[in-house]
Amino acid sequence: MRVVLSAGEASGDFLGAHLAAALKQRHPGIEMAGIAGPRMKAQGVRPWFNLDDLNVMGLQEVLAHLPRLVRLRHQFKAKTLNWQPEVFIGIDAPDFNLGLAKRLKRHGVPTMHYVSPSVWAWRAHRIKTIAQSVDALMTLFPFEPALYEAQGLQATCVGHPAADDISAMLEMSSEITKPSDHGPIIALLPGSRQSEIDRHGPILVETASAIRAHRDNAEFIMPLAQLKHAQQMQQRFGQALQTLKVKIVTDATRQTLAHADVAITASGTVTLEAFLIGCPQVVFYRLAPVTHWLARSMRLVQSAHIALPNILAEQSVVPEFIQHDATPQALSRAALDWLDTPKRAGQYRQTAAQWREQLAAGDQAARCVLDFIQT
């Protein structure tokens, strides 16, 4: 049995690795290849191309890389057709993967997509195109399959592996407590893409400075996905980071969130992780200017919220700030509000525990793939 997987960023690599491990468990002789990151490679996915080849976001950024992405998709299509897999599975990265899936489907390759594009928040007209591009869809959240019913697409909620991993992590660390004389720990998360590091780094440094003015015993930790991002932050803001005593760590996001009293997070998958961990958070995002202008002028955004906790709960569970509202003053005030209202933080953690249970995934995604192949 041969399966082609295509992930486009760190969160897709995480999901792809879970899926690959479960597929191997259920079908030991399976062969897997495609676009893979380090986690997927560790689970035996042969990398035809590397994860960073797709790791761009936003209209402005995609346009700058468009010729290279078109060449990559053409090469990937040729490799897939030559390999003759039982199924192609795109993992998130819809702008790349859905176009590729549509072309492969025309050549008789069965296609699936793992992670529903955020059609409930952004460009809802894509639902019809998605249904035409793939044979089956696996979603992370329970409200998503109903969105595709009218188009006749087979959509199944398989839960989110992060809920399982985080539940296990919290159970193992349940006895860890902070010393009573410890100052508040504040996590600063700019995002995992280079463009996000560039746009959000300065905002977070200024936000930490504003918080320090009110809480001189605060401890700041900045978890970054890659060592090169840590080096770039040190090069750009080394003196300020040293003055503010900001500790930079890599590959330790969840551990940081589990110990933090509040996190200031760029919108993305990490907001769900912080929520499931029960870490109070302030969510923000700055788009590239051209991307933001196009999104507003074309009325592409439908959702009232950008933060996944708010979207899941259908109410404002965490404060969120986008574009020009995402100022150091606004972010620091919102973070201090969490620290000043422990009762609110306790209610937030109760809500998080309920969602951890609801989103538990197990090996549902692997079972869904094998059922699809065998029918």
pLDDT in tens, 93-121: 898 899 999 999 999 999 999 999 887 65
- What's this model's pTM, rounded to 2 decimal places? 0.84
Please give the C-alpha separations between residue 139 and each of 133, 151, 219, 339, 373, in angstroms, as whole numbers.
16, 16, 37, 34, 18
The answer to whether the beta carbons of residues 321 and 284 sit under 8 Å apart is yes
For residues 137, 139, 143, 145, the Cα torsion angle rounded to the nearest 10 degrees is: 10
The answer to whether the beta carbons of residues 36 and 5 sit under 8 Å apart is yes
Averaged over 73-102, what is the pLDDT?
A: 94
State what percent of residues in the chain have pLDDT above 90: 71
Task: Report the C-alpha gap between 101 and 99 in whole angstroms.
Answer: 5
The answer to whether the beta carbons of residues 21 and 362 sit under 8 Å apart is no
List the structure tokens of 126.
């894509």
Note the pLDDT tens digit of each residue in 146-185: 999 889 999 999 999 999 999 999 988 765 555 556 799 9
Residue 281 bridge partners (DSSP): 263
List the structure tokens of 16.
């792809």
One-letter amino acid for residue 278 of the chain: G
111 Cα distance to chain centroid: 22
pLDDT of 317 reads: 95
Task: Report the C-alpha gap between 136 and 149 in whole angstroms.
Answer: 12
Averaged over 221-236, what is the pLDDT?
A: 91
Question: Which of the pair, 174 or 132, is modelled with greater confidence?
Answer: 132
Residues in the chain, total: 375
The answer to whether the beta carbons of residues 190 and 196 sit under 8 Å apart is yes
Task: Report the C-alpha gap between 183 and 218 in whole angstroms.
Answer: 5
Task: Report the C-alpha gap between 13 and 29 in whole angstroms.
Answer: 21
Least confident stretch, 44-58, 114-128, 188-202, 215-229: 44-58
pLDDT of 78 reads: 97
The angle that helices 328-340 and 194-212 make with each other, rounded to 10 degrees, is 60
pLDDT of 363 reads: 96
What architecture is domain 2-159+360-374?
Answer: 3-Layer(aba) Sandwich (3.40)
User: What is the DSSP code (8-state) at residue 268?
Assistant: S
The number of beta carbons lying within 10 Å of the beta carbon of residue 16 is 30
135: three-class secondary structure by DSSP = coil
User: One fold for both 2-159+360-374 and 166-358?
Assistant: yes
For the four alpha carbons of 345, 257, 221 and 323, in that order, the dihedral sign comes to negative
Q: Domain residues of the chain, as ranges? A: 2-159+360-374, 166-358
One-letter amino acid for residue 103 of the chain: R
Cα angle 77, 80, 82 (rounded to 5 degrees) comes to 110
CATH number of 166-358: 3.40.50.2000
Strands (E), 27-165: 31-36, 45-50, 87-91, 111-114, 136-139, 154-157
pLDDT of 52 reads: 73
